[in-house]
A and B are shown apart, each in its own frame.
Chain A
Amino acid sequence: MDAELKARTRRTIAYSVMSCVAMFGFGFALVPLYDVFCDITGLNGKVELRAVEAPAPEAVDLSREVKLQLTAVNNESMPWEFRPMKSQTRLHPGQLLQTAYFAHNTTERYMIAQAIPSVSPSEAAPYVHKVNCFCFDRQPLFAAEQKEMPLLLSIDPKLPAHIHTITLSYTLFDITPAADNRVADGGRNGL
């Protein structure tokens, strides 16, 4: 193999290897890209997991009302009792709504839960603004403890006119780490 050919082959290899590394990175870059895409478009019913400012009172659109349905779902094997305090309500876009979800740890051990919200229709997802939400934090409850978890939200007045009903659904996941489990229940599981 002459020198010129060797150099050309080496260049080809270098480009190929670089493309491989880049594509491996791209695979991981798809994760944030996917979130950004869902954020911008509101597709997939994903909603922002951060607080926004409370709306100004004069922004309330009194000309129409939206029906807001609140639902609660327990993820598989999550034993807590979990439900909205009020499962359906009507509100004006721009109006601040204060409500709560009820959670009850029915087990005899300390557990940590995390609620994940989802909005349907997904087109409405970018217009649901949470001022405060229990889904922003982990929710720890001791054995048999009960709690009302607050939710403070408003609907953006820019909500498209053809949407009359919005469903906000929370799924509750058990995220208690296995290690905490053993300590917090006083070693009962170990016996």
Chain B
Amino acid sequence: MSTLEQTAAAGELTEHHHGPASGIGRWLFTTNHKDIGTLYLWFSFIMFLTGGCMALMIRAELFQPGLQLIEPAFFNQMTTMHGLIMVFGAVMPAFVGLANWMVPMMVGAPDMALPRMNNWSFWILPFAFAMMISTLFMDGGAPNFGWTFYAPLSTTYAPPSVTFFIFAVHMMGISSIMGAINIIATILNLRAPGMTMMKLPLFVWTWLITAFLLIAVMPVLAGVVTMMLMDIHFGTSFFNAAGGGDPVLFQHVFWFFGHPEVYIMILPAFGIVSEIIPTFARKKLFGYASMVYATASIAFLSFIVWAHHMFTVGMPLVGEVFFMFSTMLIAVPTGVKVFNWIATMFRGSMTFETPMLFSLAFVVLFTIGGFSGLMLAIAPVDFQYHDTYFVVAHFHYVLVPGAIFAIMAATYYWIPKWTGRYYNETMGKVHFWLSFIGVNITFFPMHFIGLAGMPRRIPDYALQFADFNAVASVGAFIFGFSQLIFLYNVISCIRSGKKASSEVWEGSHGLEWTLPSPAPYHSFTEPPVVK
């Protein structure tokens, strides 16, 4: 009996035509939201390891002052590619993968609204990133102008491979936009009867708002790289002062995309944490409606704060004051969220399984990242902090123990539903503690070296920064290698974990937990009724 079940779980059972196709064709031609979710998640994990290797190369070079391992030119390519791969290849596809897996199951839909487009939007990505990574082997090397690709560094002074970079960005933009349209169409049209908007799980709500952000700003990104392309190849002068253009214009257009982009990378994380904390606190989420409104306000505010990334370009005082205060305003809805998470845990009967540990670390460390963000929002102070390691510390605190920890929490939380098996709890806890300690050893010292004046994106530095840099490098290697535990845990969970019940967690709530574990290949073909 158990042998039979194992065969079934391995996805090899083809006795009736409702199961997945066999072989590679299953993955190439699939229109099933669960298959595509899996593809997205594995893809983003591979990109996470790739970008991580680049980060470790950077940290290895910075272990000591002076140049030891890599050339400055290659160092610049590493910082650029690390940023691009982590933002567009790891964090964003991971969230889209989670949305693919969970949104239909959470709203009681049989699949995504546009299954074929779903297949397409995934399969564009490997090609986009193959093109982007191939620039490393081209004459003149990969893009070396930083992930923010400021003109004229990325136009007049760019390596020839910049054109490949531009088309890679176009392709991943198209992929994200199609993914976003699909998610919006699913959430708006395929909800089960009785699933009103204000009954949607928060992960679904945050993704709906994220999808609107994607639709609003990914085309602007496509626009700005198109302008670069025209400046480089067709003789226009959007960003070239000699022809009447303006390099500062680049920064305005880029950050008009860039600031909403950082919320695209954190709002789904808010949703994940809002699912996990109530489960392990065994209480309902505190302040559901305020969570929804807070998310929407953050999304709205993200459109009017972009110039706080460019306080030092020479803005008039009025502009600095406006962008300073509107930026600080974002702390209010974010504070509401943190308050609600804490209030949810208050007097709950909490247990600390791995997803909960990652979520708790998220709340604490994301808040630290938020506070350093508030410091950077103060325009006169930013003149000192701009382009230092303080900025590096800030955005890594919100992205690594923010977005990445939330993705890991989500994986541990939902993997029993995906595979029908529990991961190894002890191994999960070891992974958590090594990651938690590694992340803090890596990024906390960066606050101090930043305040002391060490600029970012440099391969060599003054001697007084040596000790903290060595500490940060040690932490980076702890964090980096502990991810292999995660990989091993996921693989052994798929192959031989302990069987999971359909509820999986004692305090779980929501439609996805009414399905058996593993979730059948086709779920909710008959829409459930939500009371």
- B246 contacts A5, C-beta separation under 8 Å: no
Residues of A within 8 A of B190 (CB): 5
Q: How many A-B residue pairs have CB under 8 A?
A: 96
1/0 contact trace for A18-55 toward B, CB 8 Å? 01111110111011001000000101111001000000
A24 CA to B223 CA, complexed, in Å: 6
| Chain B residues touching A, range | 35 or more
Query: Main SS of chain B's interface residues?
Result: helix
1/0 contact trace for B432-446 toward A, CB 8 Å? 000000000000000
| Stretch in contact with the other chain, from A57-65, A100-108, A170-178 | A170-178
A49 CA to B245 CA, complexed, in Å: 12
| Stretch in contact with the other chain, from A6-14, A89-97, A157-165, A182-190 | A6-14
Chain B residue nearest to A24 in the complex (CB): B219
| Chain A residues touching B, range | 20 to 34
Contacting residue for B241 out of A13, A17, A49, A171, CB 8 A: A171
Contacting residue for B220 out of A26, A122, A171, CB 8 A: A26
Given the contacts A19-B216, A26-B220, A122-B316, A44 and B248 also touching, CB distance less than 8 Å? yes
Given the contacts A24-B223, A44-B246, A116 and B241 also touching, CB distance less than 8 Å? yes
| Stretch in contact with the other chain, from B67-75, B135-143, B177-185, B479-487 | B177-185
A122 CA to B113 CA, complexed, in Å: 52
State which residues 176-232 of B face A: CB under 8 Å: 177, 180-181, 184-185, 188-190, 215-224, 227
- Is A75 interfacial (CB 8 A cutoff)? yes
A122 CA to B319 CA, complexed, in Å: 13
Q: How far is the CB of A9 from chain B (nearest CB, A)?
A: 5
Chain B residue nearest to A42 in the complex (CB): B316
- B181 contacts A27, C-beta separation under 8 Å: no
Residues of A within 8 A of B222 (CB): 24, 27
Chain B residue nearest to A17 in the complex (CB): B181
- Is B243 interfacial (CB 8 A cutoff)? yes
Given the contacts A17-B181, A20-B215, A43 and B249 also touching, CB distance less than 8 Å? no
Q: How far is the CB of B186 from chain A (nearest CB, A)?
A: 9
- Is B114 interfacial (CB 8 A cutoff)? yes
- A9 contacts B114, C-beta separation under 8 Å: yes
Q: How far is the CB of A125 from chain B (nearest CB, A)?
A: 11
Query: Main SS of chain A's interface residues?
Result: helix
- Is B314 interfacial (CB 8 A cutoff)? yes
- Is B315 interfacial (CB 8 A cutoff)? yes
- Is B238 interfacial (CB 8 A cutoff)? yes
Q: How far is the CB of A15 from chain B (nearest CB, A)?
A: 9
Chain B residue nearest to A15 in the complex (CB): B184
Residues of A within 8 A of B188 (CB): 8, 12
Residues of B within 8 A of A175 (CB): 242-243
Q: 19 pairs across A/B with beta carbons < 8 Å?
A: A5-B190, A9-B114, A12-B189, A16-B185, A19-B216, A23-B215, A23-B217, A24-B223, A27-B219, A27-B256, A28-B223, A31-B238, A31-B253, A34-B246, A44-B246, A44-B314, A114-B242, A173-B241, A175-B242
